[in-house]
Structure 1
Amino acid sequence: MTTPKIELYKMRDFGQKLNATIEFIRANFKKLFTTLLFVAGPTALIMGIVMKQFMGFFMGMSANPGNPAILDDLPTLFTNYFVMFLVSIFASIMLSLTTYAFMELYSQKEALEFSAMDVLRKALSRFGSTFLLTILVGITLFISVFFFFLPALYFGVVLSLAIPILYFEKVSPVEAYRRAFTLIKDKWWSTFGLLFISVMISYVVSMIFSVPFYAVYMFELVGVVDKINTDPSAFTNIFSSWYMAISMVILGVGGYLSYSIPLIALGFQYFNLAERNSAPGLINKIQDFENIQ
């Protein structure tokens, strides 16, 4: 028996949007996450490796702050941090675009008849404009932080819809930025609530992937605890083993993939608001009916 396809462009209340998010993930679990691993996973893998390098340097410096050699390590630390920052931006963009490309193809194709390469092509076609939008949003949030917490929270929730708008409406970064304020009118609190709940679900899921990291961390810590008193630099050995590297990659990739949960929830919020604003789903149904006639 074929499972009915979930309608994307549809007006939904708060509970229905959460249910649609969970149902979409449940119905497409294997295809969705194998696609995310193929398209966006390599970036997450790089992120985990870079994070391991950064944590190793940072913990080593923290464990032995009086060592003059720390100054020699600062350029390496800053380089690792800068690389980690750039990779995290790239990874975030690719995860968003991969998620929304999957949702778009899901709505267009029957029985998930599309490949990870199809998703990749669609995601890359919007990468440049999404990168520019990310810079624009980043500047806005950076400036708003100086006006205390509430403005940053307000803009953060509003502009969380900017990437779905840019992707699904195929508009420019500036237009997506502007339209986010129009689309969210009178729906800020529902968007905030949906984001909050979905992020909490994402956090709980990501904790599962953190178990190997903390298990390896405690195991390694027990092994060097006697040496730390005489040689603080021994603390860095915790992050030098290959199994620590694997656990950090699992942590990074797992946390990365779990973040697709709030992205899907935001997608359904966009579809809900777009349908309320201009009814694209209803228009498509009318056109389909006319074509049949």
Structure 2
Amino acid sequence: MENFGRINFKQERDFSSLLNATFEFLKQEFKPLLKLLLIRLAPFLILIGVFSALSMDNIANNMGSNPFAIFSFYYIAQMLLTVFAMVYLQSLTLHYIKHYNSDSMESREEYVKNNALSKVIELIGVNIGYGFLVGLATLLFIIPGIYVFVIFSLVYVITVLGDGEPGVFKKSSTLIKNHWWETFGGLIVVFIVYYIITLIFALPNSMIFLFDAFTGAYDGAISTSNNIVLDIILNIIAAFGILSAIIMYIYLSFNYYSLMEQKEATGLLDQIDQMEQDLSEDNA
């Protein structure tokens, strides 16, 4: 497989190098990665937008008479689809990176298509465990919650890139233990970028909501847009902001490989194996 111009994930990187590599990878792979994600996720994101708009319309029309209107079919469907889309996005991005770092002759699109969906159930379980631990620690106090959030932030990355390695929570803790602050700082930076992008996608919907609220004040009541089609379109646009989460998964993947290189020299071992293989082929 042609490696010219390919970014080497398996090398030690400091704080700034991790961020630089993250944005360099995004720049290099943006078009093929985005195309793959749109093909796989667009139907789910469209449904999320539709159900979100219908859910808000249902709340606006029934909340006064039914306090449980928020828990409609549309709301539940939107939440379930959002969870699935977020986890599927994790799997798609991480399998893309896994193939990027391999010498597989299989096309990247075929590899991701054949492997990403089958990993979703396992990733949902890992994310539930991760969320439970973060939530439990946060209930004790905010600071323990932040610590747990960072120390276990590699669990879903290891689930995919670690080739089924058991004990993903222990592995994540071991890798990050002496690099907590660097990981925390990097996560803050990429989360800010992620948050800004999602705000941009949500901006049209927010502006319409504020306009409705403002004009509704003159009518004596706050109204929602009368054009449900417009609501659906704006919510679909907002739903596509979910895709910006890839920046966090890419950063954490670089961090994982960097920490693995520091602790286990996996990149060096791969180079030695490749040299031995090349020598064997030359002597054959």
Query: Same fold by TM-score, threshold 0.5 exceeded?
Result: yes
Cα distance between partner residues in 1 of 2:58 and 2:217: 18
Aligned residues: 277
> Residues 141-180 of structure 1: matches in 2 within 5 Å?
141-171=134-164, 175-180=167-172
Deviations 1:129-182 (A, max 9, x none): 21221221122122222202111111111221100111111236x611221111
Does 1:194 pair with 2:202? no
- 1:38 is aligned to 39
- Contact 2:201–2:238 (CA under 8 A) maintained in structure 1: yes
Does 1:292 pair with 2:278? yes
Change in 2 beyond 3 A, CA 1:79/1:141: farther
- Cα distance, 1:120 vs structure 2: 2.5
- Contact 1:137–1:159 (CA under 8 A) maintained in structure 2: yes
- Cα distance, 1:86 vs structure 2: 2.2
Cα distance between partner residues in 2 of 1:144 and 1:81: 28
- 1:121 is aligned to 114
- 1:136 is aligned to 129
* SS, match of residue 116 in structure 2: helix
Does 1:265 pair with 2:257? no
TM-score (norm 1): 0.85
Cα distance between partner residues in 2 of 1:290 and 1:31: 33
Cα distance between partner residues in 2 of 1:248 and 1:202: 18
Cα distance between partner residues in 1 of 2:180 and 2:105: 35
> Which of 201, 204, 213 pairs up with 1:209?
201
- 1:83 is aligned to 77
Kindly provide the amino acid, as one letter, of the partner of residue 119 in structure 1: V
- 2:22 is aligned to 21
Q: Which consecutive segments of 4 or more residues in structure 1 shift more than 6 A?
A: none
- Cα distance, 1:75 vs structure 2: 5.3
- TM-align CA RMSD: 2.5
Does 1:12 pair with 2:4? no
Gaps of 5+ in 2: 280-284
Change in 2 beyond 3 A, CA 1:75/1:260: same
TM-score (norm 2): 0.87
Kindly provide the amino acid, as one letter, of the partner of residue 281 in structure 1: G
Cα distance between partner residues in 2 of 1:225 and 1:112: 60
Cα distance between partner residues in 1 of 2:95 and 2:237: 24
Does 1:57 pair with 2:58? yes
